[in-house]
Structure formats: structure tokens, C-alpha cells
Chains A and B, each alone.
Chain A
Amino acid sequence: MLENYIKIAWKVLLRRKFFTFVSLFGISFTIFVLLVATSILDHAVDPGRPQINQSRILVADRFMATDSARNSVWMSSPGFMLLNRYAKTLKTPELVSIHSGSNTYFTYMEGNKLNFTYKFTDDTFWQIYKFNFIKGKPFGKKDYNEAQHVAVITEYAARKYFYQTDVIGKFIEVDGTDYRVIGVVENVSKISSLIFSDIWVPATTSKDDIDNEFMGSFRLSVLAYSPDDFNEIRNEWHKHLRASVADLPENMVRLTTLKCVLKSNEEMIAELLIEPQENFDSKTTDQEQVVETAGISNYQLFYLVIAGVMLLFMLLPSINLVNINLSRMIERNSEIGVRKAFGATQKILVGQFITENIILTFIGGVISLIAAGITLSIINNSGIIMHAHLSLNFTVFIFGFITCVVLGFVSGVYPAFRMSKLHPVEALRGGSK
């Protein structure tokens, strides 16, 4: 029977080419835009290497200190000293890493101005984030503790600075200091802003007085043994955070309420779209409670917003398709009349027309898949998003598939229903209101 449906659908498509074109154009364009958006989102949620452990990683990048009356609020990233003393000692996670935000510097070479991003990290950074080493190796505990001037650089930085990638043992100038290159890694997409950089050097080599920085520009990444441990880790971290009050610098002694939430990747992305509600109610004494509600509700809201935007975006093309389908119905009056006269029920007819519509949508889906593939490779090559490697992976494909079914169903159901309700006699006569 399905074979018959497909045959009929094909014949109908060929009958009025203009309409087929309009329908296909609308369908492919809609799915195309959604596919491109999804692949960018997917790239952010699940970037793959080096963040293959993503689902087990928690990150803290914001720090807030307030006094009990909440009159003064200090906000920034946590400082090196705070994390080094109180986060490095966490027992529950598998690994703990401290790494800085992005720093940029310029250097001049043969009349050109080069711009590089660099980050200060520790040795565990390389164990949590699995970078793909083209040459050499990351710096280890010994290099870190002894504050060796060694650097890991990306392929991009190597080519810019040395015009080649075979650079192990050579020296690169990072903000006025020479560092020996010990590893070259594949480029990292700028979407992964937490770890994106051109150059990584041991935090112990920083010229700033980071050993006394309670607040500063560092981030904390912890790798859990399993996502089930997240709450346990958060609880332990908050115990440590409360203990850290003892080390508050002089100008902050009154600010004894500290907040530094460990967030999963999804919660981090959600924050990009929805500013976190600082529900730092002075009445709330139970810190852990605040932690849980702050992150998770944002994260759900984020997906709601995304789903809402996508539905709104699909609304207009869907109504357009409904209109076109309604119009096309008329030319099939006689067909419906005959089928009804020979005993086809309303249900069967609705099923047939929806199937037809879904087939049409799938053809559109294939077209959009090709178009999206081409567009993504253009985006990758254009450098709009630095070092991005957007691709049509399985997740994106599944999303495209679901979109097709939904679009085909939504735009087919009302016309099909209208069509199936035709009275056979009226349909055969070819007239309807």
C-alpha cells in the first residue's frame, strides 16, 4: 500500500511543477536554517575532542562575594590563590584543574602584527581536556611545580610564528618572555571559549602576583568519576569555599558570603543566552540549595527558549504549506470521490495524504541536508568562527529527521482532514465550497 502511496505522491508532485517547487523551497529552507542552527548549538554542547569528557566535567568561572547585609557585592572570576588552596584539595573528583581566562598580546614580525591568545594552566588540564597532539607532549607536574618556561601551542600559532609545525624545542615569545615549545596541538574552536587559546603555559610562570589573588581571572574545571557524583562534588566544594573565608584579603574581610557555582556544560551554555538569576537571597542560609536551583532552572529554561524559537520559526512555513496543500486538494476532488465511493474510510484517506506530505518533506529534507553541508563547510573555511569544525553529525541528522516528520505532519494534517471530509457525490461532481 505504501508503495502505491509513494507512486501517487510522485505523480502528484510532477503534475504541478510550480507548486512542487514552492513547497520544496519552503520546506528545504526551513529545515536548512534549523539544521545550521542545530549544528552550531550541537558544536557548543558537545564539541568532541578535546572535550571528550564533557559529560563528566564541572566548571566554575564566576565568583561573587557579598557581605551579610548584601550592601556591597564583588563579582569577578575566582583567583588563583583561592582555587589553588581550596579547590586543588577536593577529594571527590577524579581530577581538578585551574586555568586562566584568555589573555591576548601582540608581537611584531617582519613588519606584520601578530595577535595571539594565551592561557595559564596546570598539568592536570591536559588530562581533563584531551587535546590532539601533533608533535611533542604537554607539560607535566614537574614542569609546573618548577615553573619551567615551556609552552604548548596550536598548529595555527606554529604556522603564524614559525611558518611550520616542526617547532619542538624552539622559543616563542609570549608577552615579553621566551617560552620553549614542547607540544603542538590541533586548533581548538573558538566556540569552546573555556579552553580556546593559541598558546598554553604553566600558571606558575605568571608574572602577576597570582599567589595572593583571591579574586582574579581563573577558572576551575573538575572531572568527576561519573555525572552521578556532581552533587557530592558541589557539596564538598561549598564546604571548602566556606572554609576559604579565613583567607579573605584585608579589603574583603566583611564579604563573608561567597558564591562560586560549579556548572555542567549545558548550564554554562544556558548562561550565554539567559543571564543567571542571582538569587542570592539574604534569607537563604542553605548554600547548597541555592547552587542547585540556580543552575538547573536556567538550563531547562534555555531549552524551552530554543524550542520556542524553533517552533515560531517553523510556524510561518507550516501555514504556508497548509495553504498550498489546501489549494492543491481541489484538483484531486475526483480521485477522492472515487476512492470514497469504493469504500475508503476517512482514516485511510488522512493516512494517505499525510504520508504523501511526509514524503514531500523528506525530499525537501534531503535538499536542505546538502545545502546545510555546503554552508557549514563555507562557515568553517571562512573563519567567522575561528577554527570551527562544524559538521552534520548524527545528532544534527536526527534533529533534521524529526523536523521533517513534524513539519510534514503539521502541514499535512489539516488539509488531509478537510480533504477526507468531502462528500463523495460532491467530490465526483468536482465542486466544493
Chain B
Amino acid sequence: MIKHLFKLIWNRKRSTSLLMIEVFLSFLVLFGVLAVFYYNYSFYTEPTGFEYKNIWNVELNWNTESDELVREKLIQLDLSLKNFSEIEYHSFCSRFSRPYSSGMWSTGLTNEREQKISTVFNLADDNFTKVLGQKVVEGRWFNDEDIAAALNPVVINDALRNEYFGENVSAVGKKIIDKNDKGDVVETYMVVGVIDHYKYRGEFEKEYPLLVQRLSLRDTSIDAGWNNNTMLLRVKPGTGVAFEEKLVKYIVDLTKGWKVKVDPVEQLRESQITEKANSILVSSSIAFFLILNVALGLMGVIWYSVNRRKSEIGLRRAIGATGKKISVQIIGEAVVLGTFAIIIGIVFAMQVPILSIMDTTVGIILTAIFSASTLIYLLITICSLYPSILASKIQPIEALHDE
């Protein structure tokens, strides 16, 4: 049966080759859109590791002021924020550590097996997990014990623990050594805790190995200007713009003219998700119309070919083929044609992981190939269904009349 279908298609290779190219291109369009979708979705489903409700991001900016003055004002701010009943906790961190930050600070760390691990560095204070709610899975978050610790205390995430120390190996109390290209030790860190996740750049970001250093406003070794200008607040549920205004005025007065910008983290999240969703929406609706266009065309062409092959179909009916068999033949031919197109399409699609065009796993590509193929088969079946019903109704007498 299948061999016969192949033969039928081969006999009309000139007219079917164009159809095949069309289906092949449709496959590529579907594959592309689906791969991008799965790529983003796979990140979206991974936990970010932090809460976003009732958290405000406060960005502080000052003009040229001396480090000592900035530090003094920040400490003053730190102490006075405790007086606001609306604020449950507040935390200082670097601007590249806050949720939905656009920036990134990363360094390559080399483990004992000489593997280079590209690691993201964050800088945050003792209250960071109280505000954002990251889960500590081993050891503890920073606290007063870390004041004047001999080695630079750090908290790492699961991903860094797995890559640096090995899967599920305990990391607390162990050292992480940061070497430069020449092999000299730049810094030695002491791991005090492990958190499960902190994808601080948001849902659509890959989880990188992460190392969090302890920030303390009183620590003069940390450059005040660059690193301390972000503050995160966990506010009581229902706190609104009125308090925001009050807080901004308060901080401006206290710091004598700093620029203060407040953004609820929930809004940062929304705008990031909307942006992503819009770009996916535009590309997928264009793809949808392209495919719809192809589907309608395909249906028309199959319909025409049924009309044209009336005599052939009538003849089959005359020698005893049932209507159902005729239908199966028409659909079968379309499916075989689709299979050819998909095979060529897969050859092209597999180039994506082979040439590593997109930073993605083979799993995503395979899922995209699988679902694009399924959709193409579905499309072909639907498009050939109506013409095949028409074909099954052709009477032998029509065929004889036609000749």
C-alpha cells in the first residue's frame, strides 16, 4: 500500500515537488516558532527562587559625593527605615543583584577538576532572604557571625555547588578559590550556605551558577558608590502609591537631594513578561496566518487533483474499491508527501543544535521537531479530508462518462 502511494507520488513528481517545498517551508516556520516558544517556556517553568509580591525596588542615585558621606547617609537611612510600620524588612544589595536587573557581573571560577565555571556574582546584605524569600537548603544566610570572618563569606546556589563541588556534595565550610588567568589566587571564599535558586534576572533567564558575597554598609572595603545603590523593601500587603510618595520625600529629605526611584517588583515582572509575550504573539500570529494560507492552498490543490483524477478513481470504484479505500488513498498520498517534506525539514532543523545556532538543549529541539511534525500531519489530514470525502463519492459511471 505505502509502496504504491510512493509510486503514485513519484509519477507526478513535477507537480508534487512544489507542494513538497511548500510543506517543507511550513515545517520550518512552525519549527522556528515552536523552538523559540519552548526555549522561553522551559526557563519560565523553572522556579525563580524569589517572591515578587509586596516587594519594592528602590534605586538611589547621588551626584559626586565622597564615599564617607554616602556611607554615613546610607547607614542613617538603614537605621531610620525601621521606624516605618509599612516596611517589614529592608535589604541593601548591588544593582546587579536585584530582581529583574538588566545587568550582570560574572567571572570564571575554576574548580579542582580544572573546569571553568562561568559564575554570576551578587552582593547582598543579611536581610536579603527575609525580603525576597529565597530558600536556604544548606547552612545559613549571612548574619552577624560573618562580621570580621577570616575568609570572605559567601552563599552559593545549587547550580554552583553541583558544578564546583559535584552533585549533592555538601558545600558548607568549604573554600572556593578565585584564580586569575595566570593561576594566582585573587580571592578565597568560604561557603556558609546554599540557596536552591535565585534567577534574579527573571523568569526567562537561564539559571547560572551564582555566588553571593556579603554586603555590609559598614564595610569600608566595599566601594559605596557603585555597589550600595539598590534597596529592596518588603512592604505590608496593600501599601500603595501614597506611602511611596511619603517614602521618597523622606529619603530625599534625609539624604539632602539624592534621586530616588521606586518600582514595585511586581510591575518590573509584569513589564518583562508582557514584553516577551508580545514578541512571541507577533511572531506566532504571523506564522499562524502563513500556515493558514498554506493550509487553504493545500486543500485547494488536493481538491483539484481529485477532480482531475476522476477517471482513475472511478475506475478503482468500478473494479471494487470501496469509498473508504478511496478516501484513505487520497489522505495517504498527502501524508506520504508530508513525510518527505518533514524528513527534509528535520535535516535542516537538526542543524540548529549541531551548529549550536541557539543556546539550547537537544530536548527542546526534539520537542519542537516532534510537535511541528505532529502539527504538519494534522494539517495535511484536515486539508485532505474534505477532498477525500468528495473523492469517495465519485461514481464509476462518472469516470466512464468522463473518458
* Complex contacts, B29 vs chain A, CB 8 Å: 316
A326 within 8 A of B: yes
Q: How far is the CA of A25 from the CA of B305 in the complex (A)?
A: 21
Q: Are A18 and B300 in contact (CB under 8 A)?
A: yes
Q: Given A316-B22, A316-B26, A316-B29, is A328 in contact with B304 using a C-beta cutoff of 8 Å?
A: yes
Q: Are B301 and A323 in contact (CB under 8 A)?
A: yes
Q: Are A330 and B304 in contact (CB under 8 A)?
A: yes
Task: Tell me how many residue pairs across A and B have CB atoms closer than 8 Å.
Answer: 87
Q: Are A113 and B244 in contact (CB under 8 A)?
A: yes
* Complex contacts, A104 vs chain B, CB 8 Å: 261
Secondary structure call for the A interface = helix
13 contacts between A and B (CB under 8 A): A18-B300, A22-B296, A29-B290, A29-B293, A108-B245, A111-B241, A113-B241, A207-B63, A317-B290, A319-B21, A322-B18, A323-B22, A323-B297
* Complex contacts, B252 vs chain A, CB 8 Å: 176
Closest 3 CB pairs of A and B: A327-B304, A108-B245, A320-B297
* Complex contacts, B174 vs chain A, CB 8 Å: none
Q: Are B297 and A209 in contact (CB under 8 A)?
A: no
Centre residue among B21, B289, B299, B300 by max chain A CB count within 10 A: B300
* Complex contacts, A175 vs chain B, CB 8 Å: 259
Q: Are B22 and A320 in contact (CB under 8 A)?
A: yes
Q: How far is the CA of A22 from the CA of B242 in the complex (A)?
A: 57
A126 within 8 A of B: no
Number of A residues, CB within 8 Å of B: 35
B19 within 8 A of A: yes
Q: How far is the CA of A326 from the CA of B245 in the complex (A)?
A: 69
Q: Are A111 and B242 in contact (CB under 8 A)?
A: yes
Q: Are B289 and A106 in contact (CB under 8 A)?
A: no
Across the interface, B241 reaches (CB within 8 A) one of A112, A324, A330, namely A112
Nearest-CB distance from A321 to chain B (Å)? 8
* Complex contacts, A319 vs chain B, CB 8 Å: 18, 21-22, 25
Q: Which residues of A contact B (CB under 8 A)?
A: 18-19, 21-22, 25-26, 29-30, 33, 104-106, 108, 111-113, 175-176, 207-209, 315-317, 319-324, 326-328, 330, 384
Q: Which residues of B contact A (CB under 8 A)?
A: 15, 18-19, 21-22, 25-26, 29, 63-64, 241-242, 244-245, 248, 252, 257, 259, 261-262, 278, 286, 289-290, 292-294, 296-301, 304-305, 307-308
Q: Are A106 and B293 in contact (CB under 8 A)?
A: no
Across the interface, A209 reaches (CB within 8 A) one of B21, B64, B242, namely B64
New A-B contacts (17) at CB < 8 Å, excluding given A105-B259, A176-B259, A326-B18: A26-B296, A29-B290, A29-B293, A106-B248, A108-B245, A111-B245, A112-B241, A175-B259, A176-B252, A208-B63, A209-B64, A315-B25, A320-B297, A321-B297, A323-B298, A324-B297, A384-B278
Nearest-CB distance from B154 to chain A (Å)? 28
Secondary structure call for the B interface = helix
Across the interface, B297 reaches (CB within 8 A) one of A22, A33, A113, A330, namely A22
- Which B residue sits closest to A109, measured CB to CB? B245
Centre residue among B261, B262, B304 by max chain A CB count within 10 A: B304
Q: Given A176-B259, A208-B63, A315-B25, is A326 in contact with B15 using a C-beta cutoff of 8 Å?
A: yes
* Complex contacts, B19 vs chain A, CB 8 Å: 323
Q: Are A108 and B241 in contact (CB under 8 A)?
A: yes
* Complex contacts, A322 vs chain B, CB 8 Å: 18
* Complex contacts, A208 vs chain B, CB 8 Å: 63-64
* Complex contacts, A209 vs chain B, CB 8 Å: 63-64
- Which A residue sits closest to B29, measured CB to CB? A316
Q: How far is the CA of A45 from the CA of B125 in the complex (A)?
A: 48
Nearest-CB distance from B282 to chain A (Å)? 10
Nearest-CB distance from B99 to chain A (Å)? 19
* Complex contacts, B292 vs chain A, CB 8 Å: 25
* Complex contacts, A326 vs chain B, CB 8 Å: 15, 18, 301
Q: Are B18 and A22 in contact (CB under 8 A)?
A: no
* Complex contacts, B289 vs chain A, CB 8 Å: 29, 33
* Complex contacts, A111 vs chain B, CB 8 Å: 241-242, 245
Q: How far is the CA of A18 from the CA of B301 in the complex (A)?
A: 11
